[in-house]
Amino acid sequence: MDGFSYYNIFDTKGMEYLIIIAFLILLVPFSVILNRKVKLKQTFHRALGKLTAGILQIPQGIFYSNNHTWAHLAKSGIASVGLDDFLMHITGDVSINFLKAPGDRIAKGEAMAELQHDGKHLTVFSPLSGEVTRTNQALTETPGQLLDNPYDEGWIYRIQPVNWKEETGSYFLAQSATDWTRHELERFKDFLAVSWPKYTPEASLVALQDGGELRDCLLPELPDGVWADFQSEFLSAKEG
């Protein structure tokens, strides 16, 4: 037919383009899978109901306070603060009540938010002093980010710190943070053995799985008194 030209795709660049397109189609989901590797691992272990040190996220470039909050200073000079993965795997899915708003001043050790579940609550304290520049209001609609992404979408405040170096000098960083978190997990086991029977005399070792492993997201199942003891022992700790 006049005016009509036929090109064999195998004799042109078309085949190369198809290969590239196919590669990209395969690459995108593969990249997503890699980026979600930690989250998938957590979900798997959560389904099994086990809380082990191996599933806890402990990013090495973050400063951890001994009351289970964290702080990270960006190049802009603004710090993000939030709650560590240990705390979130103890409390499970909770809602958050912000105690500060943008423009407010906050002092290190001052109450910054409350975690709530069925009338029970915990108070968490700021790891830094400074001015609050932003609150993560997305957490009011998707509080699950506190558990799923505590160091990313789960941040609580952005703060302009006034004394970063001095206030973070005693915090845990890198390997010391990993060692401390593992110690806290063992300490929580000992805590349960003492606190839970005080309020539930018939309490047994159902808090533990076979092999002495903790059950994930256990605190919501426990009495108010255990919440109060946990507040005192883990969240209101004084720095040495």
Are 85 and 155 in contact, with CB atoms under 8 Å apart?
no
Distance, in Å, from the CA atom of 1 to the CA atom of 231, rounded to the nearest integer, reads 84
Q: What is the pLDDT of residues 119-161, one digit of tens each?
A: 999 999 999 999 999 999 999 999 999 999 999 999 999 999 9
Where is pLDDT greater, at 197 or 16? 197
The pLDDT of residue 71 is above 60: yes
Please report whether residue 158 resides in a domain: yes
Are 146 and 120 in contact, with CB atoms under 8 Å apart?
no
Work out how many domains the chain is built from and give that number. Answer: 1
Are 70 and 127 in contact, with CB atoms under 8 Å apart?
yes
Q: Which amino acid is at 82?
A: G
Q: Could you tell me how many helices (H) and strands (E) the chain has, helices first?
A: 8, 11
Range of the domain at 71: 49-240
The pLDDT of residue 224 is above 80: yes
Distance, in Å, from the CA atom of 32 to the CA atom of 96, rounded to the nearest integer, reads 29
Please report whether residue 17 resides in a domain: no
Where is pLDDT greater, at 196 or 158? 158
CATH number at residue 207: 2.40.50.100
Residue 78 Cα distances to 52, 126, 128, 150, angstroms: 33, 15, 11, 18
Q: What is the pLDDT of residues 35-55, one digit of tens each?
A: 444 444 444 344 446 899 889
Distance, in Å, from the CA atom of 206 to the CA atom of 215, rounded to the nearest integer, reads 8
Are 94 and 121 in contact, with CB atoms under 8 Å apart?
no
Please report whether residue 143 resides in a domain: yes
Please report whether residue 129 resides in a domain: yes
70: confidence class by pLDDT, cuts 50, 70, 90: very high
> Strand runs (DSSP E) across the chain, as ranges?
50-51, 63-64, 69-73, 79-83, 95-98, 105-106, 111-117, 120-125, 130-135, 157-161, 214-215
Q: Which of 33-37, 44-48, 171-175, 217-221 has the highest mean pLDDT?
A: 171-175
Q: What is the pLDDT of residue 65?
A: 97
Q: What is the pLDDT of residue 23?
A: 56
Q: What is the pLDDT of residues 85-130, one digit of tens each?
A: 999 999 999 999 999 999 999 999 999 999 999 999 999 999 999 9
Distance, in Å, from the CA atom of 117 to the CA atom of 37, rounded to the nearest integer, reads 29
Q: What is the pLDDT of residue 202?
A: 66
Range name among 9-18, 84-93, 167-176 with the lowest pLDDT average: 9-18
Please report whether residue 6 resides in a domain: no
Buried b (16+ CB within 10 A) or exposed e, 133-147: eebbeebeeebebbb
Please report whether residue 136 resides in a domain: yes
Are 96 and 207 in contact, with CB atoms under 8 Å apart?
no
Strand order in the sheet with 63-64: 63-64, 69-73, 79-83, 157-161, 130-135, 105-106
Please report whether residue 224 resides in a domain: yes
Please report whether residue 2 resides in a domain: no
